[in-house]
Amino acid sequence: MTVLSTLLIMFDFYGIGTRYLHDPLWWFPEKWMERLFLYFAIPMLVTIIMFREDPRKSGFTFGDWKAGLVLTAVGIVIMVPILWALCRSDASMQSYYQGQVSGLPWSTALDLFGWEFIFRGWLLFGYARKFGPEAIWLQAVPFALAHLTKPELETFSTILGGFAFGWVAWRTKSFIYPFLIHWFVSSFTIIVAAGVLGNP
C-alpha cells in the first residue's frame, strides 16, 4: 500500500494522462478524471481483486453518519474564519488560486473524492490493521508531501489538517465526512482567494 500510493502520487505529479499514456482511450483531458482513476479506481480494484476485501473495510461506507454530519458542520464552522483571514491576507494564495473558479463546486468535488478515499480511506484503515490509531498520523505524511507545489502556508498546515481529517474518518469509520469538509475547504479557499466575494 505504501509503495503503490507513493507511485500514484508521483504519477499524479508528473501527469500520467498527458505524458505517459497517449492512447485516446486512456487520455484524461481533465485533472479530476486522472485523480479519480489514480486515487479511487486503482485502490478500489486492488482492494476487491488483489486483497479480496469488502471496500467498507477501507472506509467506503457512511459509517456513523450522525457523528459524521455533526463533525462536518463543526469543521466547516471552524474553518470559515481561518480561511477567510488567510486567503485575504496571503498574496501567494491569491496568485495560486486565480482562474480556478470555473466549474466550482463540482470541479473540487470530483477532484477530491479520490484524493480523500486514498488517504482517509484506503491508507488510514489499511495502516490501522498494523499500527492502530498511529495510522492517523501515518496517512497525514504522504498527504502533506502531496501539497508541496501549493502555497507555503497551505502546505505547512496540511500535516495537522491531514491528522484532523484522519481523526474524523477514524471516528466515523468513513472517508465521506473528511471528503465533505475538504470539499468545502477547497471550494471556499478558491472563492475567497480569487476575490469572488470581494477584492482580498
- Alpha-carbon distances of 7 from 11, 30, 60, 164, rounded to whole Å: 6, 20, 22, 24
In whole angstroms, give the CA distance from residue 183 to residue 176.
Answer: 10
**The three cell numbers locating residue 174:** 468513513
Q: What is the pLDDT of residue 31?
A: 80
In whole angstroms, give the CA distance from residue 189 to residue 82.
Answer: 10
Assess whether pLDDT exceeds 70 at residue 175.
yes
Percent of the chain with pLDDT over 70: 92
Q: What is the pLDDT of residue 200?
A: 54
- Alpha-carbon distances of 44 from 38, 56, 152, 181, rounded to whole Å: 10, 10, 32, 22
Q: What is the DSSP string of 113-126?
A: HHHHHIIIIIIHHH
Q: What is the pLDDT of residue 91?
A: 92
Q: What is the pLDDT of residue 27?
A: 58
**The three cell numbers locating residue 21:** 499514456
- The single-letter code of the amino acid at 26 is W
Assess whether pLDDT exceeds 60 at residue 22.
no
Q: pLDDT tens, 44-88?
A: 999 999 999 999 999 999 999 999 999 999 999 999 999 999 999
Out of 30-39, 130-139, 147-156, 190-199, least confident range: 190-199
Q: What is the pLDDT of residue 20?
A: 53
HEC letters along 178-193: HHHHHHHHHHHHHHHH
